[in-house]
Homo-oligomer: A and B are copies of this chain.
Amino acid sequence: MQETDPPPPEGRVPNLAFGGAPTIRDVARIADVSIGTASKALNAGGRLSQETRDKVLRVAREIGYRPNDLAQSLHRAKSRTIGIISNDSFGRFTFPIVEALEERLAEEGMAVFMCNATDDPARERQHLDQLLGKRIDALVVTARRADKRAPIGPLAHGLPVIYVFSQADDPNALSLLPDDEGGAVLAVAHLAALGRKRIAHVTGPEHFEAVRLRRKGYRSVLAEAGLPEIEGFYLSGVWSEAWGREAAARLFSGPQTPDAIFCGNDQIARGACDTLREIGLAIPADVAIVGFDNWDVMVLAARPPLTSIDMNLKALGREAGDSVLEMIAGRKLSGVRRRPCSLVVRASSKP
* Interface residue ranges, A against B (CB under 8 Å): 1-2, 4-5, 8, 14, 16-21, 64, 66-71, 73-74, 77-79, 81, 89-91, 95, 98-99, 102-103, 106, 109, 111-116, 123, 126-127, 129-135, 154, 156-159, 240-242, 267, 270-271, 297, 300-301, 330, 332
Q: How often does this chain occur in the complex, in copies?
A: 2
Neighbouring B residues of A270 by C-beta, 8 Å:
301
Chain B residue, CB-CB nearest to A74: B70
Partner of A5, one of B2, B78, B158: B158
Flag if B301 contacts A241 (CB, 8 Å). yes
Neighbouring B residues of A91 by C-beta, 8 Å:
95
Neighbouring B residues of A14 by C-beta, 8 Å:
157
Besides the known contacts A1-B158, A90-B95, A106-B126, 11 further A-B residue pairs in the complex with CB atoms under 8 A apart: A2-B158, A18-B135, A19-B156, A20-B156, A21-B156, A66-B133, A66-B156, A90-B90, A111-B130, A113-B113, A240-B300
Most chain B Cβ neighbours within 10 Å, of A1, A74, A98, A111: A111
From known contacts A20-B157, A267-B297, infer whether A130 and B109 are also in contact, taking CB-CB under 8 Å.
yes
Neighbouring B residues of A157 by C-beta, 8 Å:
5, 8, 14, 19-21
Partner of A112, one of B1, B18, B103, B113: B113
Neighbouring B residues of A158 by C-beta, 8 Å:
1-2, 5, 19-20
Neighbouring B residues of A77 by C-beta, 8 Å:
16-18
Flag if A90 contacts B79 (CB, 8 Å). no
In the complex, what distance in Å separates the CA atom of A163 from the CA atom of B103? 22
Partner of A106, one of B89, B127, B135, B241: B127
Flag if A89 contacts B79 (CB, 8 Å). no
Partner of A99, one of B89, B106, B113, B127: B89
Partner of A114, one of B114, B129, B297: B114
The smallest beta-carbon distance between A119 and chain B, in angstroms, is: 13
From known contacts A74-B71, A77-B18, infer whether A115 and B102 are also in contact, taking CB-CB under 8 Å.
yes
Flag if A70 contacts B135 (CB, 8 Å). yes
